[in-house]
Amino acid sequence: MERILKDFIYYLSVERGLADNTLDSYQRDLKKYLQFLKKHNIKDFHEVSRAHISQFLLEQKEKGLAPSTLTRNLASIRSFYNFLLREQIIQENPAAELESPRTEKKLPRVLSFKDMERLLEQPKTGEAIGLRDKAMLELLYATGIRVSELVSLSLNNVNIKMGFLRCDGKGNKERMIPLGSVAIKSLQDYLQYGRNKLIKQKDEKALFINQHGKRLTRQGFWKILKKYALKAGISTEITPHTLRHSFATHLLENGADLRSVQEMLGHADISTTQIYTQITRRKIKEIYDQTHPRA
């Protein structure tokens, strides 16, 4: 059963071209599921029924897992059984008709313009590390890219002269995102005065370098962001994705069309982007209530 799981992960990686983070999620979910099957002495996928999968999900729920996590678990199991069907290992998918747990869609947390400005002002640009941090924060807010996409950037992904960033997103889908003048200036300063002080090897291709001269990691950026959020006096919880949410929301608040924002974020489905319109509607209602004399 473990060998078949390895084949499935290989299929997702090579044929579907899924990102490493997505592959890790599938692997974690399905390893947990296989442990459940072993515990119940199920040694073959033919023996699995719909009731077994329901029992697995119930056990996970009793452990306190969130509905969104249970939904992801079921999606992983369903995809796995579709693969088994495709490979003719089983004749029917026992997870096919199982309903996903109902999840409440939470609105993404975003920063106000003032909080964002305070955050972007924190790096000390008189030193190489500060120039790097300023460029990273400005780039994230200017483009809305994911932190995994940010740390994966190499020098050839940025065209400062043309004012564009080439980004390889989920499923290796390439997209071109325009850069604002402030982000371009921050990148220029970092490349001219900061990056050469951080690199140890001249042939290093990574755009953003850590203090050891290597490519910066997601964990490394997370620590940097938390440090600046604390300095800026931002009391709400902030993650790298908060900057992505803020990018999309601020664009829509200032009149950008939904399709353009979808394209820049790299969303396959526009319904994923539409959640930001709920935030802008809420903001408009707040402004109306505060300013209209007969509200």
| pLDDT tens digit at each of 295 positions of the chain | 888 989 999 998 888 888 888 889 899 999 999 999 999 888 888 888 888 998 898 888 888 888 888 888 888 999 999 998 888 888 888 887 777 666 556 666 788 889 989 999 999 999 999 999 999 999 999 888 889 899 999 999 999 999 999 987 666 678 888 898 999 999 999 999 999 999 988 889 999 999 999 999 999 999 999 999 999 999 888 888 888 888 888 887 777 777 777 777 777 666 666 666 665 565 555 654 665 455 4
Residue 216: per-residue pLDDT: 94
Residues 75 and 147 in one domain: no
Give first-to-last CA distance, the chain, whole Å. 63
Residues 9 and 58 in one domain: yes
User: Could you tell me if residue 247 is inside a domain?
Assistant: yes
Residue 268: per-residue pLDDT: 67
**Domain of 21?**
2-86
Last residue of a domain, one of 86, 101, 129: 86
User: Could you tell me if residue 95 is inside a domain?
Assistant: no
Residue of 61, 118, 166, 170 marked catalytic: 170
Residue of 132, 244, 245, 250 marked catalytic: 244
CA nearest to 224, candidates 128, 84, 129: 129
User: Could you tell me if residue 99 is inside a domain?
Assistant: no
Residues 139 and 285 in one domain: yes
**Model confidence over 121-150: pLDDT tens digits?**
999 999 999 999 999 999 999 888 889 899
244 is catalytic: yes
Q: Residue 79: how many CA atoms within 13 Å on its side-chain side?
A: 19
132 is catalytic: no
The DSSP-derived string for 109-129 is P---HHHHHHHHT-S-TTSHH
In the chain, the number of structural domains is: 2
User: In this structure, what CATH number is given to the domain that contains residue 65?
Assistant: 1.10.150.130
Residues 217 and 284 in one domain: yes
Residues 185 and 132 in one domain: yes
User: Could you tell me if residue 175 is inside a domain?
Assistant: yes
How many whole angstroms from its chain centre is CA 134?
Answer: 21
Residues 264 and 119 in one domain: yes
Residues 70 and 132 in one domain: no
The DSSP-derived string for 213-237 is SSBPPHHHHHHHHHHHHHHTT--S-
| DSSP helix/strand/coil, 257 | coil
Residues 54 and 143 in one domain: no
10 is catalytic: no
Residue of 72, 78, 132, 146 marked catalytic: 146
User: What whole-number distance in Å separates Cα of residue 30 and Cα of residue 36?
Assistant: 10
**Model confidence over 27-64: pLDDT tens digits?**
999 999 999 999 988 888 888 888 899 889 888 888 88
Residues 254 and 117 in one domain: yes
Residue of 81, 141, 190, 276 marked catalytic: 276
Residue 292: per-residue pLDDT: 47
Residues 30 and 118 in one domain: no
Residue of 173, 241, 281, 282 marked catalytic: 241
User: Could you tell me if residue 97 is inside a domain?
Assistant: no
Residues 45 and 152 in one domain: no
3 is catalytic: no
User: In this structure, what CATH number is given to the domain that contains residue 194?
Assistant: 1.10.443.10
Residues 121 and 74 in one domain: no
212 is catalytic: no
Residue of 52, 61, 185, 267 marked catalytic: 267
276 is catalytic: yes
Q: Residues for the chain: how many in total? A: 295
pTM: 0.61
Last residue of a domain, one of 31, 51, 86: 86
